Structure 1
């Protein structure tokens, strides 16, 4: 009798989904509405909603504008995304500056 095959691990979310989740979390933690942030960032309400839901791949200019409207830096946003991926994978989220990336060292 064959042993049962364990289920395949769930794939990591796409970057656009992780960015959207992080932007939504940052917006909500500040008590801001989607409409307010859309107006402040000069991004349409519909487009910002699609970004937050991970349905649109926003340009770096759009993401920077939304970050500015939220009062965060792109670094803050990317660090939030990195922490989410690290938590999902069960690894340390950030390495010290100047420490080579193990993946790059293996290449």
Structure 2
């Protein structure tokens, strides 16, 4: 009986993991892909997190320690490369000591960097 249960669990694991493969067979990190482009709010959050962190004199390692999130993952968040859940957003806001809404706020027009002139 134990062997049958083990075989069933192994089969179930391999079957479920095959659901998250691309047509080329590449692993999709356990999640189905979407055709939606990343939200601009992802970049806003990341830029605000980096600005607040630097204004408060915190290193990325300080934030990683306080939030219990790997520093390399935080770096990717700051660059707008990662889509994070609400619990992680809250942990990062607490780590830098600001309300979450402050990290999600769009910067005012005067705070935006000027766009370089178009090259002709």
Q: Same fold (TM over 0.5)?
A: yes
Question: With structure 2 as the length reference, what TM-score do the two structures score?
Answer: 0.56
Q: For 1:19 and 1:28, locate their aligned partners in 2 and report how far apart those are by CA, in whole Å.
A: 14
Unaligned runs of 5+ in 1: 1-12, 89-107
Task: Tell me how far 1:50 sits from its aligned partner.
Answer: 0.4
Q: Which one has a bigger Cα radius of gyration?
A: 2
> Which aligned runs of 4 or more in structure 1 are off by greater than 2 angstroms?
none
Question: With structure 1 as the length reference, what TM-score do the two structures score?
Answer: 0.62
Match of 2:109 in 1: 87
Cα distance per residue 1:44-103 (max 9 Å; x no partner) = 11110100010001111101001001111112222xx32x1x517xxxxxxxxxxxxxxx
Q: For 2:45 and 2:101, locate their aligned partners in 1 and report how far apart those are by CA, in whole Å.
A: 12
Unaligned runs of 5+ in 2: 1-38, 111-120
Count of residue pairs brought into register by the alignment:
73
| 1:67 partnered with 2:89 | no
Match of 1:42 in 2: 68
